[in-house]
Homo-oligomer: A and B are copies of this chain.
Amino acid sequence: MKKKIGKKRQITLSDIAATVGVAPMTVSRVLNQNGYVSDETRDKVLSVAKEMNYRRNGLARNLKRQRTETIGLVLGDISNPYSTELARAVRQAATANDYNLFICISEHSAEEDIAAFESLTSHSVDGLIVATRANDAGDEYLKSIVENNVPVVVIGRDFYHENIDYISADNLAGGFEATQHLVDLGHRRIGFIGAAFDQETKLKRLQGYFNALEKHGIEIDERLVTGRREVRSGVPGYSTEEIGYEGMKRLLSLPKRPTAVFARNDFTAIGAMTAIKEASLRIPQDVAIIGFDDIPLASHMSPSLSTVRQPMRLQGQIAAELLLKRIESESFPEREERILNCELIIRESTVSRKS
């Protein structure tokens, strides 16, 4: 049974004003709790508003006020606990400062990145936190946003702009430490899984791997570096279990297979572990493996996964703070750059329980 046909017009301030017999402005004052209104009027307005089930129109309000008290967060790869921790921290900081948070997901491409920026900015969010991977078209768009005076902060996105704050884990040092840990254990043939060849130079974790090898005088063997070969233009390079699995299989099929592997992130590492187990090799005795991120899965794996922990909550919190500072500043604050330390977490996948 259809209840009613056609959607009814929404109730407005003027409707209430007319019913109560006051000016819309008075109703506005009551509802926003600012300005003086007599108790009598206030009560009447409130009761009528409630009766009519009034709901204010934020579009009109925000259009007039020129701010929304809302910030936007653009997230890629939302399945990674990395992202959700970040989101929680950002939300917490936002809420504490009376800002709402809208999250947009941009999983696959530069187009989605841009669609997310577009949809958030066109709703006039007061500021934007961007945690997707860099890509040319998206960077271009971000630039135009900033030049429209919308405050922006990026997290782990390799993009420089003088009016954008930059926050990141120290991926370079993290990659270095992970690799060095393997070297310290005596490994000389160390593989890397999860390179993205379209942006190789930008992948700090891979660079850290190169640096560590170089420091210890180990020659770089290109065959030990695997990743997504095909370059889909403008596609951010997230790494998944599948990529780890495929990559490891390729490494294991080499004439001289690596004795240890550094995977770009924990999901990749977990995929690689599956491949190692399938080949009936032991972890870490035959192949040692280390990941990156320290997602909850890492400590629950068997063997548990060594990894590099990055401070996600902290990154989110700092991002929100810097953004709010930008939003509430009258002028343009100095650009800030925060590179946060990572922590090497040694577990069973690199060091045998019994050794």
Contacts and interface: CB of A to CB of B under 8 A. Distances in A.
A41 to B, nearest CB: 23
Contacts of A297: 296-297, 300
A300 B85 contact: no
Contacts of A8: 149
Contact of A59 (B116, B123, B332): B123
Interface residues of A, number: 64
Nearest to A274: B300
A103 B100 contact: no
Interface string A106-129: 010000100110010111100000
A171 interface: no
Interface in A167-188: none
A224 interface: no
Contacts of A6: 330-331
A352 interface: no
B5 A122 contact: no
A104 B103 contact: yes
Chain B CB within 10 Å, residue with most, of A56, A58, A95, A124: A58
Given A58-B123, A59-B123, A62-B59, A53 B87 contact: no
Contacts of A123: 58-59, 62, 68, 70, 102, 123
A228 B81 CA distance: 25
A88 interface: yes
Interface in A39-94: 53, 55-63, 68, 70, 78-79, 81, 84-85, 87-88, 91
A154 interface: no
Contacts of A112: 95
A320 to B, nearest CB: 13
A55 B63 CA distance: 15
A333 B145 CA distance: 40
Contacts of A61: 122
A104 B102 CA distance: 6
B107 A88 contact: yes
A204 B11 CA distance: 38
A269 to B, nearest CB: 11
B105 A100 contact: no
Nearest to A62: B59
B115 A105 contact: no
Nearest to A1: B334
A302 B302 CA distance: 6
Contacts of A121: 55, 58
Contact of A79 (B81, B100, B105, B300): B81
Given A2-B332, A3-B162, A60-B63, 8 more contacts: A3-B163, A5-B331, A53-B148, A70-B123, A84-B84, A91-B107, A296-B297, A300-B301
27 contacts: A2-B334, A4-B331, A4-B332, A7-B149, A10-B148, A10-B149, A11-B148, A55-B122, A57-B63, A58-B121, A58-B122, A58-B124, A62-B123, A78-B88, A79-B84, A84-B84, A88-B105, A91-B105, A91-B107, A100-B115, A102-B103, A102-B119, A103-B103, A296-B297, A297-B297, A300-B302, A301-B302
4 closest A-B pairs by beta carbon, nearest first, are A58-B122, A302-B302, A100-B119, A103-B103
